[in-house]
Structure 1
Amino acid sequence: MTLLFVADPLESFKTHKDTTFAMMREAASRGHHVWACEPADLVWVRGARVVARRARAITLTGQAERWFEVAAEGELALADTRAVIMRKDPPFDSEYFYATHLLGQAEREGARVFNKPAALRDHPEKLAILEFPQFIGPTLVTRSAEAVRAFHAEHQDIILKPLDGMGGMGIFRVGPDGLNLGSIVETLNQDGAQSLMVQKYLPEIVHGDKRVLVIDGEPVPFCLARIPQGSEIRGNLAAGGKGVAQPLSPRDREIATALGPILAARGLLLVGLDVIGDSLTEINVTSPTCFQEITQQTGFDVAKRFIDALEARLK
């Protein structure tokens, strides 16, 4: 069957760790036809269907450098594919938002899109945790500098982060001395123009910010603990964190099994839950990663599980 991946430029993939590449490789190994385009390629004209104006059919070479060859290139109607897999990396900016609306129109025309475009819009990765307060630590979302100061006075050691950040970008820690709190708030909330998230610092971060993958409501049995290195407070791999795969803890599994069926029922085939200690900190739905790291370290084939789930949804 034909699968269209909507993703970042193929030339930018780091295939030794890229999750979308792992999905493509598994799909191709089963004989599926792999196509790719970028969100900027999506076009709709009245009286016609949503198309990828520059879609590329690719074959995988098995080489590290030139990892793909273009077998065909041209316009492809999304409804003519068996599935569209939305894998554009964050940030969830205006263009990403508009792309979900084009994908939603493609759904009305008969396309099957994963993750579901409406669910992508309804689950911003920082704010989606608000629905599940029983699993999160002390958290504040606000534009108010005064509210942030009050939260700091109560909890003493806090983390501040923008709502549209990714890869650990823009994350600050402020300890009991409150050093630079005012300046950090001004930077993040743009003098009250933008909301930010504030959370109590969780010392368990030294053991890793765990990425728990949930595929069609079922947790992958291993997570990737992204452990901060040196003086860094961020465990994100993009920020230099060390990824260590490990079995899910009872609390990890409790969170994943509670949220998994709810999110899957909303059209979220793949979700990445971020857990520090016993607390859920984010719900990643745009382009969850860590397939290859978990597979390489444990032998559990995450991409196989994902394509199994995708095929089951398409029956």
Structure 2
Amino acid sequence: MNILFVADPLEVFKVYKDTTFSMMREAQRRGHRIAACEPSDLSWRSGDLVHAQVREIVLTGADEEWFQVQRTELKPLRGFDAVLMRKDPPFDSEYFYATHLLEQAQREGAKVFNRPASLRDHPEKLAIMEFPQFVSPTLVTRSPDEVRRFHEEHGDIILKPLDGMGGMGIFRVGPEGLNLGSIVETLNQHGTTTIMVQRFVPEITDGDKRVLVIGGKVVPFCLARIPQGSEIRGNLAAGGKGVAQPISERDREIAETIGPLLSERGLLLIGLDVIGDCLTEINVTSPTCFQEITQQTGFDVPAMFIDALEEQLDRDRSVF
């Protein structure tokens, strides 16, 4: 199998924890060929196919120079057995444009995971609206007055931008309401930008759990990202400590409800963020935590992912 990874520059990978790297390593271990490009390498010309300037690579096993480029050339995406969209957030205009190029490649016959249209249809903060039974009290609004009323009702709240990542731009406002007005002005730009407000879930002290679903099946372990010191954010990028643990019954209930449904929509891999018993986000762009879970529990998450990819491609081939 020949797999193309559309990702961030290989030179910035932190291979000791990078999930895309773990996918590449498992794919190569099975004898699959791997190539990589960035979204900026994608192009389309009328009367032709979507192409990308790709680097065909071999992983070396070294810590520093962990890959070797075999060749670099312009190739049509439909010439690969699978194209994996693994560009990290933010989901900005360029990411949006890349999904349209990938969708065109899909129309031309390429097999793209996660499905480009589904990436657009499931923004990671707003996708939870489809599953209100699992969500803590939540408000999505531009209105500062609505935010103030929500705070008066719930007392202790979290405010966040809809396009944030890694815990960026998250604020907590307690019952005293200190700096609420300033925080709202900062986040919603005087009513021009939509924000999300949620009732604070005190179980964050036990961790913001990343629950993975691969091919509609739940990974039996999650990674609890536990805030450190005075932080309220458990995100690893914000200094949280990642502790792998078996998923709870509630985690499984949430994942087994959402996972198969989103799998049918072409989302081979999703990452659910759960605090206590509450779903807070549905990550579809570039879910992570494969290596942390595998290293701490021995459950081989990358192998489960490549299994699911191979099975999906086999099913697709059997249809034609």
Q: Does structure 1 residue 50 correspond to structure 2 residue 50?
A: yes
Q: Which residue of 1 aligns with 2:158?
A: 159
Where 2:285 maps in the other structure, the secondary structure is coil
Please say if 1:198 is aligned against 2:197.
yes
1:142-189 per-residue CA deviation (whole Å, 9 max, x = no partner) reads 000000000000000000000000000000000001000000000000
- Runs ≥4 residues deviating over 4 A: none
Structure 1 partner of 2:66: 67
Give the aligned partner of residue 149 of structure 1.
148
CA distance in 2, matches of 1:41, 1:223: 34
Alignment of 1:1-315 (within 5 A): 1-52=1-52, 54-315=53-314
List runs of 5+ in structure 2 lacking aligned partners. Answer: 315-320
- CA shift at 1:265, angstroms? 0.2
Report how far residue 264 of structure 1 moved.
0.2
Q: Within 2, Cα distance between the matches of 1:275 and 1:161?
A: 16
Q: CA RMSD in A?
A: 0.3
Aligned length: 314
The amino acid of 1:48's aligned partner reads D
**Structure 1 unmatched runs, 5+:** none
Q: Secondary structure at the match of 1:296?
A: helix
Identity of aligned residues (%): 74
1:38-57 alpha-carbon deviations (Å, 9 max, x no partner): 000000000100000x2000
Shift of 1:76: 1.2
Shift in Å, 1:239: 0.2
C-alpha distance in 1 between matches for 2:312 and 2:70: 27
**Following TM superposition, by how much is the alpha carbon of 1:132 offset from its aligned partner in structure 2, in angstroms?**
0.2
Tell me by how many angstroms 1:250 deviates: 0.3
How far off is 1:196 after superposition? 0.2
TM-superposition CA deviations, 1:16-61 (whole Å, max 9, x none):
0000000000000111110000000000000100000x20000000
Counterpart secondary structure, 2:22? helix
SS class of match (1:23): helix
Q: d(CA) in 1 for partners of 2:259 and 2:217? A: 6
Tell me the secondary structure at the aligned position of residue 55 of structure 1: strand
Give SS of 1:56's match: strand
| Deviation sequence 1:200-245 (CA, Å, 0-9, x none) | 0000000000000000111100000000000000000000000000
Three-state SS of the structure 1 residue aligned to 2:222 is strand
| 1-structure distance, mates of 2:296, 2:259 | 24
Distance (whole Å) between structure 1 residues aligned to residue 114 and residue 5 of structure 2: 11
How many angstroms apart in 1 are the aligned matches of 2:301 and 2:36? 21
Instruction: Tell me how far apart the structure 1 counterparts of residues 165 and 73 of structure 2 sit (CA, whole Å).
Output: 32
Q: Distance in 2 between matches of 1:76 and 1:236?
A: 37
Cα distance in 1 for residues equivalent to 2:2 and 2:301: 21
Letter in 2 for 1:271: I
1-structure distance, mates of 2:75, 2:187: 41
Q: Over residues 83-120 of structure 1, what are the superposed CA-to-partner deviations in whole Å (9 max), with x where a residue is unaligned? A: 00000000000000000000000000000000000000
SS of 1:311's equivalent? helix
Mapped partners of 1:76, 1:174: distance in 2: 51
Q: How far is 1:252 from its partner? A: 0.2
Deviations 1:277-303 (A, max 9, x none): 000000000000000000000000000
> Which secondary structure state, in structure 1, belongs to the residue aligned with residue 224 of structure 2?
strand
Partners of 2:99 and 2:24 lie apart in 1 by 21
Tell me, in whole angstroms, the C-alpha distance in 1 between the residues paired with 2:192 and 2:42: 31
